[in-house]
Structure 1
Amino acid sequence: MTPMTDPAEVLRQKGITLPPPLSPAGQYSPVRQVGNLVFLSGMGPTNAPEGVPVTGKVGRDVSLAQAQHAAYLTCLNALSSLEAHCGSLSAVAGFVKVNGYVNCAPGFIDLPPIIDGFSSLINELWPQSIPHARAAIGVAELPFDICVEVECVAELR
């Protein structure tokens, strides 16, 4: 059995500081817990420290590499909301499901590598966890013209 990794310690070792949790853009909760499952509402990427959304259409305005980085920034926002809800990322056993949406130009189909920007950090922080289920979906538009949006489900210990 793999020893348990402390996600906060991994972030510290990588020199990563989580941004403040995002405020909801409507009448919903960014985080909702049911039993030992925590549902995170769709959230997008913001550049630190300004908190400016990363916008544009992938395959036209945004490159694949930029979109992968946007998915990584989205992961930081999700982790921030999760930590604010749980008090510590150590309370999280791992992620169950990740749905990634990519605001993409017509014909752009290279979606899975973009959402890998989100998944790779999750897998690094919880290496002992079973990998999460996932969808990578291309869409015509996303709120506020963000290039990536991710909603996910985490499991508590």
Structure 2
Amino acid sequence: MLIRTEAPADILAIDRLLKSVFETEAEADLVMTLRENGHLTLSLVACTDEGEVVGHLLFSPVTIEGDDLSWQGLAPLAVAKAYQGKGIAAALVEEAFSTLPEFGYPACVVLGDPQYYGRFQFKPAADYGLHCQWEVPPGAFQVRSLTEYSVAEQLAGRKGLVEYCPEFNGL
């Protein structure tokens, strides 16, 4: 399995993957729109030895109370159904967590299952006074530092609303 940055030749394969994994085409449309609008910070793919794209992970910018702190939002994360449960999603996430800090991105947020994302050291964002722009179940909105500095140290007393790129409002 090869984990690498998306290439232009991967765009249609990513689109097909997202449409096959999610119930609607909303995530595929979101990724395409983020890409077209230049709001794609990091897009990774997992490929088989034959070059088939079987996993995808995307990060895009988020703001805290309107301030750009270079934080990122993880969404979406997808693995082809035939390849789920084989550690591909974890490999994508770990690769991203080693890559993002190299480019100066100190932390990220995710909206998802706390049990699943907890294994990647995500913590409830509410513990740091952060909340999502949408109404979500308790604990579903989570945050994680990507550097040696804790989330609290990075926030330096800031708290409040975390907003994703406007493209997410169409979901």
TM-score strictly above 0.5: no
Structure number with the bigger relative contact order (C-alpha 8 A, sep ≥ 6) is: 1
Higher fraction of helix: 2
TM-score, length basis structure 2: 0.28
